[in-house]
Amino acid sequence: MLNHRNIIKQIENKLNDLRKSERKVAELVLSSPDKVIHMRIVDLAAEAEVSEPTVVRFCRAIGCGGFQAFKLSLAQHIAHSPSLEEFSINELDSARDYTFKVFDSTIDTLKHVRGTIDPDAIEVAVDALCNAKRVEFYGFGASSPVAIDAQHKFFRLQISSAAYSDPHIQAMSAMSLQHGDVVVAISQTGRTRALLEAMELIKETGAVIIGLAPSGTPVAEECTIPIYIDVEQYAEENYTPLPSRIAHLAVIDVLAVGVSKVKGPEIGLHLSRLNRGLQSLRTSTDD
């Protein structure tokens, strides 16, 4: 059954497989989903300049039983998907204004990624991580702190892990990997040349590459297990937040929770022991 949260992605994925007339319907839906949910089948057919049976064939081609099922899935998708407005600030914004804008932008981004992420890809990635002999996280620039955070989380889960952001170290690490090892390649653009070069070296070893990157980018296409994180990047001269970084951190948390769940109660006991042992490094509340 089609997940309503993935219907837009499903249409995009099926676009090249549709007949020419069905593609006209698909393109109209993708361009104006808010408008389409209020249309009757006769209205949609007229707007797309196709027949009503073509609209029905389109609905079935994307996994819906018919036009009403399609409209329901589309409406549910829109209801669960926030409207991602471009982040912008101006000279009249107060501290309260830009504080709310930053938080609202981040919340919208997280909701969008949650609604479009593929749970099947998460499950496959968690399985690979649980069975890995060694897990390494590669990231450059803003993705570097995400890789470091990931290494910290998975080290706590008793998984041999490391994080590298230097291209030379990544290259040496990539060449030393073995079959059964896993690399998580993190990229907010999906086009970092040095990361792609490291991925080529990894492929020669037979290690698994989990890619956290936007769909349709080289990193997403070249990895073994792609986890698409599609977030609009804002390009302004003044400072803008990086919601993509927060989304990547959230997906790392999702993978860590998945691994913890698979490992079972024993990992909970291990984490409890760690927390008790770290208490001596913290100041007392009575100080």
> Which tens digits make up the pLDDT trace of 63-102?
888 998 898 888 877 766 655 556 677 788 899 988 888 8
Name which of 245, 178, 174 is nearest 213 in CA terms.
Answer: 245
Cα–Cα distances in Å, from 177 out to 171, 173, 208, 213? 10, 7, 10, 22
Q: Please give the pLDDT value at position 257.
A: 93
Instruction: Look at the domain 117-276 and name its fold.
Output: Rossmann fold (3.40.50)
Instruction: For residue 221, name the pLDDT band (cuts at 50, 70, 90).
Output: very high
Which residues in the chain are classed under CATH 1.10.10.10?
4-80
pLDDT in tens, 75-86: 877 766 655 556
285's CB contacts (< 8 A; 6+ apart) are none
State mean pLDDT over 128-147.
Answer: 94
Place of tokens 């060694």: 134
The residue ranking higher by pLDDT, 276 or 16, is 16
State mean pLDDT over 137-141.
Answer: 95
Q: Which two tokens stand for residue 134?
A: 């060694």
Q: Please give the pLDDT value at position 163.
A: 97
State mean pLDDT over 274-285.
Answer: 76
4-80 classified as CATH 3.30.420.40: no
Q: What is the pTM of this model?
A: 0.69
The residue ranking higher by pLDDT, 104 or 197, is 197
Single-letter amino acid, residue 254: V
Tell me which range, 20-24, 266-270, 274-278, is most confidently predicted by mean pLDDT.
20-24
The residue ranking higher by pLDDT, 134 or 267, is 134
Are 182 and 151 contacting, i.e. CB atoms less than 8 angstroms apart?
no
Which residues in the chain are classed under CATH 3.40.50.10490?
117-276
Residue 169: pLDDT over 60: yes
